[in-house]
Amino acid sequence: MEWETVIGLEIHAQLNTKSKIFSSASTQFGAKPNSQACAVDLGLPGVLPVLNKEVVSKAVKFGLAVDAHINQRNVFDRKNYFYPDLPKGYQISQLDWPIVGEGEIEITLGDKTKVIGVTRAHLEEDAGKSIHDLYDDYTAVDLNRAGTPLLEIVSEPDMRNAKEAVAYAKKIHALVQYLEICDGNMQEGSFRCDANVSIRPMGQEKLGTRAELKNINSFKFLERAINLEVERQQDILEEGGEVAQETRLYDAVKHETRSMRSKEEANDYRYFPDPDLLPVEISDELMAQIKQELPELPQEKKARFIAEFGLSEYDADVLTSQKPMADYFEKMIVNNADHAKLCANWIMGELSASLNKHQLELLDAPITADDLSLLVNRIGDDTISGKIAKDVFKAMWDGEGSADEIIEAKGLKQMTDTGAIEAIVDEIIANNQAQVEQFKSGNEKILGFFVGQAMKATQGKANPKLLNEMLRSKLG
């Protein structure tokens, strides 16, 4: 039977505020355990949560960026369950009146685009962390993370395969970084993805029973976990079984998902409005102020890159897909406005390839935008050829100095001395009469042979354009 996969994602983005959502304790990652868990975070008797204004503003920014309806009146609820890293016995969240209502976002896959619905986004507090391997006989609890603001972004079940789910997750990931509301660090858990996955016979409208996949901390694992789950569900259904609605934990080491049965019985959270918190009313003034603070969004930046720098749709799309890359390009372009296409090529070509090879993020690249900008400048002003520039790039990557220092030290400056090149060309023509005859009888391809010989003789330093022109006029 042919099956259709249906995927919806729940993304938890930690909002990058200085203090917690309901207390004035720090949210800084990596502090001494429990040193940032105050009386409010611990749920000690008599404390009162007070909402952080910045949290509201960041959530609204997200809503505006996905064209969502903003619920200027929204309400906090208590979600009740027992777990050691949840000291109050309930998590403050939003159920019926979330801050961000329905919106949408467009994803790109190859040359196709698709609109994915955002059902809602609501505010809640993060829980603490349980550490199981510190003691043999105890679970250790660090409550520093308790009360860190989270924006939970819930999508419609609009995705039909793992690749679409990854494209959507990446798009949201890029967006929260553009908006500067979340640092997007998946390793530290600032950006977490849960996937609701079900399958149904192709053509059937009714959704199949879904499993919720948790503990996914990279885009690669998201794709793997979904594909794994789809296979598991197919096997069950094709053998006449039934898929259980449950939460499953993805284990990246064993590459498997396994059931978290302990969560099943607790699935009744008995939500009710939190009496400690009054309904939130976002004034029109605050809305206007937040709108003004909204930075340039990926789509707007893409359009500007095309209009301002004449980039292709594809180049502009790749460059704006991640904020660090767009920033890198904009830094390069400051001194290179005439060579925008060349800058784009170098970022998307050599730089990206080297980052991939060394498994580095752009922010950790050993070559800064200013460094690379200088190199592109040297191609632009004909100091070196594009081919030589690749060698210079490699030397720069290895820390051998700036582009100019390397060009100087290695004597890579392009030969633009017509006389010198001419002498070399004449010699090659004299020594290769058979090839000259072939060219004259119409074999255009043989020109490459002469170029190759001349490049060899000049260690690649002859200006290719000059060389080509000269060869053609002398052979022709």
Question: In terms of residues, how long is the chain?
Answer: 476
Task: From residue 448, give the alpha-carbon distance in Å to each of 259, 304, 470.
Answer: 63, 40, 13
Asked whether the beta carbons of 333 and 345 are under 8 A apart, the reply is no
Give the nearest distance from C-beta 241 to another protein in angstroms. 25
Q: What is the CA radius of gyration of the chain?
A: 29
Give the nearest distance from C-beta 411 to another protein in angstroms. 56
Q: Is 236 exposed, middle or buried (0-12, 13-18, 19+ CB in 10 A)?
A: middle
- x/- string (CB under 8 A) for another protein, residues 247-276? --x----------x-x--xx-x-x--x-x-
Give the nearest distance from C-beta 31 to another protein in angstroms. 9
Q: Which of 18, 69, 440, 456 binds another protein (CB under 8 A)?
A: 18
Contact between 69 and another protein (CB under 8 A)?
Answer: no
> In 3D, which of 150, 156, 138, 215 has the Cα closest to residue 176?
150
Contact between 100 and another protein (CB under 8 A)?
Answer: no
Complex with another protein: residue 34 or 161, whichever CB lies closer: 34
Give the nearest distance from C-beta 136 to another protein in angstroms. 8
Give the nearest distance from C-beta 39 to another protein in angstroms. 7
Asked whether the beta carbons of 92 and 49 are under 8 A apart, the reply is yes
Please give the residues from 174 up to 193 whose contact with another protein meets the rule CB under 8 A.
none
186: β partners: none
Q: Which of 30, 111, 135, 433 binds another protein (CB under 8 A)?
A: 135
Q: Which of 7, 9, 68, 141 binds another protein (CB under 8 A)?
A: 141
Q: Which of 1, 2, 30, 32 binds another protein (CB under 8 A)?
A: 32
Rounded to an integer, what distance in angstroms lies between the CA atom of residue 309 and that of residue 323?
A: 18
Task: From residue 411, give the alpha-carbon distance in Å to each of 145, 391, 458.
Answer: 56, 12, 11
Complex with another protein: residue 54 or 404, whichever CB lies closer: 54
Q: What SS3 class is residue 473?
A: helix
Q: Which of 4, 42, 189, 321 binds another protein (CB under 8 A)?
A: 42
Complex with another protein: residue 113 or 259, whichever CB lies closer: 259
Asked whether the beta carbons of 248 and 229 are under 8 A apart, the reply is yes
Contact between 56 and another protein (CB under 8 A)?
Answer: yes
Give the nearest distance from C-beta 395 to another protein in angstroms. 45
Beta strands of 202-315 (E only): which ranges?
A: 211-216, 246-251, 256-259, 272-273, 280-281
Strand order in the sheet with 90-93: 90-93, 77-80, 272-273
Q: Which of 201, 279, 295, 386 binds another protein (CB under 8 A)?
A: 279
Please give the residues from 286 up to 315 whose contact with another protein meets the rule CB under 8 A.
none
Asked whether the beta carbons of 275 and 77 are under 8 A apart, the reply is no
Q: Which of 5, 8, 11, 52 binds another protein (CB under 8 A)?
A: 52
> In 3D, which of 191, 235, 242, 262 has the Cα closest to residue 15?
191
Q: Which of 13, 25, 159, 428 binds another protein (CB under 8 A)?
A: 25
Q: Which stretch binds another protein (CB under 8 A): 16-24, 303-311, 363-371, 388-396?
A: 16-24
Give the nearest distance from C-beta 219 to another protein in angstroms. 24
Neighbour-count burial for 83-99, b at 16+ CB within 10 Å, e otherwise: eebbbbebbbbbbebbb
Tokens read off for 267: 């699935």
Contact between 278 and another protein (CB under 8 A)?
Answer: yes
Contact between 357 and another protein (CB under 8 A)?
Answer: no
Q: Which of 45, 46, 112, 132 binds another protein (CB under 8 A)?
A: 132
Give the CA-trace dihedral at 336, 340, 346, 352, to 10 degrees. Answer: 110
Q: Determine how many CB atoms are found less than 10 A away from the CB of residue 173.
A: 21
- x/- string (CB under 8 A) for another protein, residues 204-243? ----------------------------------------
Residues at the site binding another protein, with contacts judged by CB under 8 A: 17-19, 23-26, 32-39, 42, 44, 50-56, 75, 80, 82-84, 96-97, 130-132, 134-135, 137-143, 249, 260, 262, 265-266, 268, 270, 273, 275, 277-281
